[in-house]
Structure 1
Amino acid sequence: MEVATGSHQLKITNYSQTKLIGIGMHFASAPFAIGGCTWAIHFYPGGAKKFHESYISLGLSLCHGPKTANVLFKFTLLDCNETPLKDAESKLFLQTFSLTDVWAVKFMKKELFEASDYLKDDSFIINCMVTVLKYSQTRGTDIARLIIEPQCKLRQQLGHLLATGLGSDITFEVDGQTFRAHKLVLAASSSVFRDQFFGPMTGKEMSRVRIEEIEATVFKAMLNFIYTDMISDDASSSEESWWKHQQLLVVADRFRLDRMKLTCEFLLFRDLDVERLSSALVLAEQHNCKQLKAASLKYITSQRILIPVMATDGFKHLIASCPWMLQEINASYSHETTNDEIRFGLSTLLLALCVLWIVAMYFALLFGKI
């Protein structure tokens, strides 16, 4: 039996931000190679599964390599000098991985981890030791060559089809530009396109479609996601990136692209700040983004930033378009807070805001301002 051993590290910064994402969502390390396989470390701030929710979970995934691999692996936290912390390590696991498998384990209770010295400046380092076991099928024989299974390049190949338009059978007119695509690829990802191209009410053979109320750059990014499962990070600024992800979420909801919609929710939450919170809540409410809404409410209450949020222009838009959100913010605060006086004061403040808003709208209507 032959063995190949190595290790890789994943550094997590701004842990207090990452822990607000939901169960099963993760951050992944850059791919690394050990034993003829490509691996990645996964960090699940909210736990990998429902019964992990009070723990931080760590996982190892087989990205590329043979169909199966027998592996010993162990997770350890490192200190600031990248020295292993013996009291912060998992047991040694022996598992058989299939291609694209992820093995996730409960690593440490969140409350214990957050109260420990493992977390320095809201950051910590995960080390994963991996040993790949190779069982020889022959003895005393020198195997000169091994057949290596090639990496899957489906994303790149579909992306090339989109870029070249080879075999395309539908052309979209969007904001003065044209885009060639393939009906079957679109229908596989979107029930809207499936009904449009192959539904029972489909009439004559359709080869050209005009799309209204979408910018060409946004539609192009949507097509790119459908073909490659990726949202390109080509924005020149944080504000441009925020605008792009908002528009893509709206388009994903319109065309029932559920995976793209969830990806946009995650990217929007990643870039949240006080100025953007109200806009995120409005967007989440209008497009039924349950995870973005829950994470935004959690962010407001856990960080105790309601007063700064209320001072933003976006908050005025929030109470104008979704006034019932005030009650949900209040309920979220009441759940998080144990002090009765604070809860009472917040409830009174939010009630007063509702009354002031209604009065302002009444007088504006009365005097013909709106």
Structure 2
Amino acid sequence: MANACTNLTGVVRLERQFKIDGFSLLATTMSDSEFVKFRWDAGGYEWEIHCYPRSSEPGNGVALKLMLFADAGSCNVRARLGCLLVHPRALHNASYSEVSLTYVFKRPKDCSAKVFLVNERFLPAPASLKDDYLTVQCAITIVKELPEAAKSVPAPSSNLHQHLGELLQSQTGADVTFLVSGESFAAHKNILAARSPVFMAEFFGHMREASSGLVVIEDMELQAFKAMLHFMYTDTVPELDLELEAVATMAQHLLAAADRYGLDRLKVICENKLSGGITVETAATTLALAEQHNCLHLKAKCVEFIVSSPAILDAVVATEGYKHLEASCPAALTSIVISMRGRRN
């Protein structure tokens, strides 16, 4: 069998020149611990190169360090810093070669040891102020180790909701039929019971539907039941993906259905949808719905909108929805009165 090789690293090399103006002045006034820094994006990380114009270890000279500025994440980053003096040229035609060091960076602000570029005595005095600068060519070679998760086969994303949705559509193994407004829907008792405490009691408790294969649903819109059933299998509500103005009625019916069958997540989804676009025409009816189904967040949003200004309050009071609110939920009016007093105070 032929030998197999798996590449578990990524390598990148970048070069850049750095210039320090007024170098001789810095070299005579800065302490051993002071440095000039340059920021560099390389290999998907942020780096800093620290240049020490004056360093006393092992002798006076120019030294550089490399620091990983950004987070290395869950993997190590091996980097090699190579430095070559470009300007000024050395005295007595002394030749320079690249000096380098290698370091493994594991966390933010990890810093390498110093690499010594040139001894001070080999640098000529600048001929003029314009010539007083130091230029260094730096090269970073980065070898990035892949994290353990990348060395294994990635798991596919969950598609449980898709499989359950297909099960609902195919009706395979269905053991209960719902009759809603003359239309029938086949479903699976176990799945519905796992999602709803009400269905758990109906199918596996002592209620009359426990052994029945047919359940008649009354006082619920056909499309709302269909959307609720889809949610119970897939945990999604595509019917509410449009703007609120187009789906407000559906959201109201679904909220009532969710409260009826103990679907707390669906109830909150509908509540948040309705809270996002309260208008003069919908404020009163939405407040009545929130009061009836104990939606405290939605109720607070409605009251806040209604009392936001005298003009809006007058407009809401003039709607048919407000008449319905007065007749069906007089307790909700108390919240409005209390909020108005609070604003006056």
TM-superposed CA distance for 1:281, in Å, is: 0.8
Q: Is the 8 A contact 2:180 2:218 kept in 1?
A: yes
SS at match of 2:158: coil
1:349-368 alignment, distance < 5 Å: none
1:303-318 alignment, distance < 5 Å: 305-318=312-325
Q: Is the 8 A contact 1:173 1:179 kept in 2?
A: yes
**For structure 1, which runs of at least 5 residues remain unmatched after alignment?**
4-34, 36-68, 72-93, 95-133, 339-370
- Indicate which of 322, 334, 342 corresponds to 1:335: 342
Q: Match for 1:282: what amino acid?
A: A
Q: Deviations over 1:170-203 (max 9, x none)?
A: 1111111111111111111111100011114567
Query: Distance in 2 between the 1:233 and 1:276 partners?
Result: 19
> Quick check: 1:271 aligned with 2:277?
yes
Query: Distance in 2 between the 1:264 and 1:144 partners?
Result: 39
Q: Is the 8 A contact 2:287 2:302 kept in 1?
A: yes
- Indicate which of 284, 296, 302 corresponds to 1:296: 302
TM-superposed CA distance for 1:276, in Å, is: 0.3
Which residue is 1:232 aligned to?
Answer: 238
Which residue is 1:187 aligned to?
Answer: 193
Query: Distance in 2 between the 1:287 and 1:333 partners?
Result: 23
Q: Is the 8 A contact 1:269 1:295 kept in 2?
A: yes
SS at match of 1:334: helix
Identity %: 42
SS at match of 1:230: coil
Change (3 A) 1:70 1:281: farther
Change (3 A) 1:234 1:201: closer
> Quick check: 1:321 aligned with 2:328?
yes
- Give the TM-score normalised by structure 1: 0.50
SS at match of 1:244: helix
- Give the TM-score normalised by structure 2: 0.54
SS at match of 2:186: strand
Structure 1 or 2, whichever has the larger Rg, is 2
Q: Deviations over 1:185-229 (max 9, x none)?
A: 111111110001111456773322222222322211110111111
Q: Is the 8 A contact 2:203 2:210 kept in 1?
A: no
Query: Distance in 2 between the 1:234 and 1:329 partners?
Result: 29
Query: Distance in 2 between the 1:195 and 1:328 partners?
Result: 35
Q: Is the 8 A contact 2:240 2:251 kept in 1?
A: no
Change (3 A) 1:267 1:237: closer
Q: Is the 8 A contact 1:301 1:332 kept in 2?
A: yes
TM-superposed CA distance for 1:70, in Å, is: 4.6
Which residue is 2:97 aligned to?
Answer: none
Which residue is 1:241 aligned to?
Answer: 247
Change (3 A) 1:313 1:144: closer
Which residue is 2:39 aligned to?
Answer: none
Q: Deviations over 1:40-90 (max 9, x none)?
A: xxxxxxxxxxxxxxxxxxxxxxxxxxxxx859xxxxxxxxxxxxxxxxxxx
TM-superposed CA distance for 1:325, in Å, is: 2.5
SS at match of 1:324: helix
Change (3 A) 1:336 1:215: same
Query: Distance in 2 between the 1:336 and 1:229 partners?
Result: 40
Which residue is 1:261 aligned to?
Answer: 267
1:53-202 alignment, distance < 5 Å: 70=74, 135-136=145-146, 146-201=152-207
Q: Match for 1:275: what amino acid?
A: E
Q: Deviations over 1:239-291 (max 9, x none)?
A: 55111111111111211211111111111112311110000111111122222
Query: Distance in 2 between the 1:203 and 1:158 partners?
Result: 23
**For structure 2, which runs of at least 5 residues remain unmatched after alignment?**
1-7, 11-43, 45-72, 76-107, 109-143
SS at match of 2:219: coil
TM-superposed CA distance for 1:154, in Å, is: 1.2
Change (3 A) 1:151 1:303: farther
SS at match of 1:292: helix
Q: Is the 8 A contact 1:302 1:336 kept in 2?
A: no
Change (3 A) 1:201 1:237: closer
Change (3 A) 1:276 1:2: farther
Query: Distance in 2 between the 1:287 and 1:144 partners?
Result: 48
Q: Is the 8 A contact 1:192 1:255 kept in 2?
A: yes
Change (3 A) 1:324 1:173: closer
Query: Distance in 1 between the 2:295 and 2:219 partners?
Result: 21
Query: Distance in 2 between the 1:233 and 1:325 partners?
Result: 29
Query: Distance in 2 between the 1:176 and 1:206 partners?
Result: 18
Q: Deviations over 1:89-108 (max 9, x none)?
A: xxxxx9xxxxxxxxxxxxxx
Query: Distance in 1 between the 2:314 and 2:201 partners?
Result: 46
